[in-house]
Amino acid sequence: MKLLVASLIIFMSISVKAQQSFKQQQLQFERVKMAYDLKWTTLEKELQQAGFQENFEMLVTAYKAEGKLEIWLKNQNKTKFALFKTYDFCAHSGKLGPKVTEGDLQTPEGFYKINVFNPMSSYHLSLGIDYPNEVDKARTGKDRKTGGDIYIHGDCVTVGCIPLTDDKIREVYILAVEAKNAGQPEIPVYIFPFRMTKTNFESYAKQYPQHIAFWNTLQPGFKSFEKDKKILNVLTKSNGQTILKR
């Protein structure tokens, strides 16, 4: 997926002042305006019924084996996230296990954040994640390419991204816009190979023994979020280590 750089809003480059008008900037794009026209009235009612106020924060979890993407929200005066909606992947790419090289068709596994809003995507609307992280780079090595351009997007095709259909991405996209517009600096995206319960881990480890060491670095994050429902304090180091800080 090629980026239209002039059209993209990248988190780290936006000032506090610009954050306040982020929604207005996004609404200048036809597809974003259409998404709001089609979805926002219903979403607002659902948010109110679920107890979420106007200014909420957002977190995304995804499970490759189950093909599920979850949207977690919390009011800014709360400490824990609560599940708001779950969406099915529309298509799958690759197998369980992390993305290693460009063109391997794998969907990444690890701890990321949304770093791009693309309102003019080739796949309707898309939210980019900041793959590769340091662990990914270390895994790929110096003589190979990590690949990139990993998105949560519309349509129903994929070569490593997470497609949701145009209808579903409209909801996810504008929820992310609302969270960003409310001042959330980073929206976490945690992509797990599967729901990393003890039973599931033992089962998938038998099928994919080559990934056990890596999955052992993801499971503490899964368990921590399942228990606390808080943003993880994750450090990914250039030597390929993932450290969950307390």
Active site (catalytic) residues: 153, 161
Dig out the tokens for 154 from the structure: 């519309």
Task: Give Cα separations from 172 to 21, 43, 65 (angstroms).
Answer: 19, 10, 20
Distance separating alpha carbons of residues 62 and 92, to the nearest angstrom: 12
d(CA 21, CA 206): 50
Cβ atoms of residues 217 and 242 within 8 Å: yes
Q: Which helix (H) or strand (E) is 21 found in, with range?
A: none
